[in-house]
Amino acid sequence: MPSAPSWLRDLVGAWIFYSVLPAWPWPQPRFERIARFAPWIGLVIGGLQAGLWWLLSGLEWPQVALVPAVLALGLWLTGGLHFDGLMDTADGLAAGPERCLEAMEDSRVGASGVQLSVVVLLLQFAALVRLGPLAPIALLVTSALARVSPLWAMARFAYLRVNGTAGFHRRHQKGLGDVVPTLVLLVVLSPLNPLFQQLSFWMAPLCLLSALVVAEWLGRRLGGMTGDGYGAVVMLSETSGLLLMALLAPSLGSGAG
């Protein structure tokens, strides 16, 4: 087989690392600059969630059953990668600066991790119910743009663990070169795309801004970043994006049901 460009091998690596979807038969994956493609994997995951929403809506599922199914699909498609980081980070923050990393490394989940995970899922549930027919589009947008937050965290904050398994993300980062896929993604998610014309032109940039704010806030709280922190900012950014869209998106009246 012909050799593949490094960016394509990184894309295949991102597909394997960030999802439980079946691996590509070609090319051989590379796990170096995979973080730059995380937003695109998020777009696929959000697309599958949107597809399930439309399918179950067509089967006349009530939203009280539909929304948990869609959220469960998102958690399963990621293998719980980001959700685990959210819980561990909550436990670390609750333990205080001296024991933060130790608590995050502990495989046992503490009360703070459980509480924050429940709060996040409830807020996502509420936002999706409020969005109604706009929820599938919101899932696409927030799932993709929330995954820009780790890129910001990687660029802005030192990695805190000497031998941490997620340290390779920061070591292989290439600055502006890693931003290009995200800029292309923003064009795809803009109202220029007929699929997203239901959204105001400022909705995607606003969700992106909220993702960057979340990454900046958590990086400052932790004094750096870890792999768990990268996962936490994805979950928190998805939640903040959905809440923003639920609060500000136009024409919600008839579909908020």
Q: Using an 8 Å Cβ cutoff, are 230 and 166 in contact?
A: yes
pLDDT tens over the chain, length 257 residues: 568 898 899 999 999 999 999 999 999 999 988 999 999 999 999 999 999 999 999 999 999 999 999 999 999 999 999 999 999 999 999 999 889 999 998 888 899 999 999 999 999 999 999 999 899 999 999 999 999 999 999 988 999 877 777 777 777 676 656 767 877 887 777 766 677 777 776 788 888 899 999 999 999 999 999 999 999 999 999 999 999 999 987 554 444 43
Taking phi first (over 0 means left), then psi (-120 to 50 degrees means alpha), and beta for anything else, what does residue 151 get? alpha
Q: Name the pTM for this structure.
A: 0.90
Encode 32-65: b = buried (16+ Cβ within 10 Å), e = exposed. ebbbbbbbbbbbbbbebbbebbeebbeeeeebee
